[in-house]
Amino acid sequence: MTPTAYFHSIGRKTSNPVPANIYGWHESTVERILENQQYTGCTVNGKSTTVSYKVHKVIENPKKEYQIIPNTQEAIIDENVWLRVQELRKNKRRPTKTNRKSLFSGLVFCADCKSKLHFCAAKSLKRNQEFFRCANYKDGRGNCTIHFIRDVVLEMIVKEAVAGLADFVRCYESVFLYMQKQKCGEFQKKRQQKLKLSIESSRKRIADLDKLFSRIYEDNVIGKLSDERYARMAEEYESEQKELLEKVKEEEKQLSEIEQKSVDMRLLLQGLREFTDMKELTPTIVNKLIRRIEVHNPEKKHARKSVKVDIYFTAVGMVSLPDEQEIRRMMEQIRSASLLPKQLTA
């Protein structure tokens, strides 16, 4: 029986309606159970890296950082069975096409020379061998180093970063929005107001200049204004108008950039929610969430290669998530700001 059907049968209220098939477990529920190590009877601590998560980071296997305390509760699934399931799930088949594209095609750049990274996928390459390298690397003859990264490794790094941000925003959306607002929000709002006013007054002056122009023209025709004086005034009006038109154009551009930012923020939050639901990176989710990825040249550290990847998210760019102490401090600030009377905060 599904949990909802079970709760219903014992008379407990449920948020979802009872499904038509009371034994039809949803695929994602089964997936979550299969991936939850706690069913083997241990307690997993440090599983949520949300709080200390930093996007700016070096590859490592985060699962190794889990503190696993075995046998803290009665096992529902035998540990070996659990491990086997994880192995099987890891090798899920992907549809293979010879004309493969990376999820990140077009988004990946060299952190040093800023060229695009070239995606290399040939028929002879297995899926896990497909890689990116700097387009400006010419087997040692070019001006840049290789900046090699396998597509599957990049996917793992990006997925981890997205999962960290999604977790953080899911737990602390108000703190996340407060952080962004502190970074630019208040300032942007004032700037937006100022730009709107300035554009409005420029437009009015442009219309007035048109009127003035036709008036001096008439005055000149009926002989009230000398040709010499008319020419000088006309030139002045014209240059003022030209300047104003350019100013309006520039300010409208700045205004639309600010407006774009709030659209981008909505896109980011939507993408993060979709990721939380699907637990997968799809092309749509990647396009909503990520603006740019920069890959550094691999470095050899402690006999193993590691690569640094900078991820620039939509609307917010590179994100470094605050630690627990900073979160608490910001929550305090949000709370005291909301207690202030409206006039003081406006």
Minimum distance between the CB of residue 134 and Zn ion, rounded to whole angstroms?
Answer: 3
Cα–Cα dist 82/144, whole Å:
45
Minimum distance between the CB of residue 112 and Zn ion, rounded to whole angstroms?
Answer: 5
Are the C-beta atoms of residues 147 and 167 closer than 8 Å to each other? no
Instruction: Return the residue of 144, 152, 265, 315 that touches Zn ion, per CB under 5 A.
Output: 144
> Which of 114/253 has CB closer to Zn ion?
114
Place of tokens 């709370």: 335
> Which of 132/176 has CB closer to Zn ion?
132
> Which of 113/120 has CB closer to Zn ion?
113
3-state helix, strand, coil in the chain (%, to 5): 55, 10, 35
The DSSP symbol for 185 reads I
> Which of 110/319 has CB closer to Zn ion?
110
> Which of 134/272 has CB closer to Zn ion?
134
Stretch that binds Zn ion, among 110-118, 123-131, 187-195, 240-248 (CB under 5 A): 110-118
Up-side HSE of residue 52: CA atoms within 13 Å toward CB?
6
Minimum distance between the CB of residue 237 and Zn ion, rounded to whole angstroms?
Answer: 53
Verify binding: residue 134, Zn ion, rule CB under 5 A: yes
Verify binding: residue 33, Zn ion, rule CB under 5 A: no
Q: How many residues belong to the site for Zn ion (CB under 5 A)?
A: 7
> Which of 110/179 has CB closer to Zn ion?
110
Q: What CA–CA distances, in Å, run from 73 to 29, 41, 44, 86, 131?
A: 21, 5, 11, 21, 43
Classified as helix, coil or strand, 192 is helix
Residue 11 CB neighbours (<10 A): 6
Cα–Cα dist 129/98, whole Å:
14
Alpha helices in 92-185 (DSSP H): 151-171, 173-180
> Which of 36/306 has CB closer to Zn ion?
306
> Which of 289/293 has CB closer to Zn ion?
293
Verify binding: residue 4, Zn ion, rule CB under 5 A: no
Stretch that binds Zn ion, among 29-37, 51-59, 141-149, 314-322 (CB under 5 A): 141-149
Verify binding: residue 113, Zn ion, rule CB under 5 A: yes
Buried/exposed code over 248-285 (b: 16+ C-beta within 10 A; e: otherwise): beebeeebeeeeebeebbeebbebbebbeeeeebeeeb
Stretch that binds Zn ion, among 75-83, 139-147, 246-254, 308-316 (CB under 5 A): 139-147
Stretch that binds Zn ion, among 20-28, 60-68, 107-115, 231-239 (CB under 5 A): 107-115
Verify binding: residue 111, Zn ion, rule CB under 5 A: no
Minimum distance between the CB of residue 146 and Zn ion, rounded to whole angstroms?
Answer: 8
Q: DSSP labels for 196-237?
A: HHHHHHHHHHHHHHHHHHHHHHHHHHTTSS-HHHHHHHHHHH
Torsion angle (degrees, nearest 10) of CA 266, 267, 271, 277 = 40
Verify binding: residue 110, Zn ion, rule CB under 5 A: yes
Instruction: Give me the residues that bind Zn ion (CB under 5 A), please.
Output: 110, 112-113, 115, 134, 136, 144
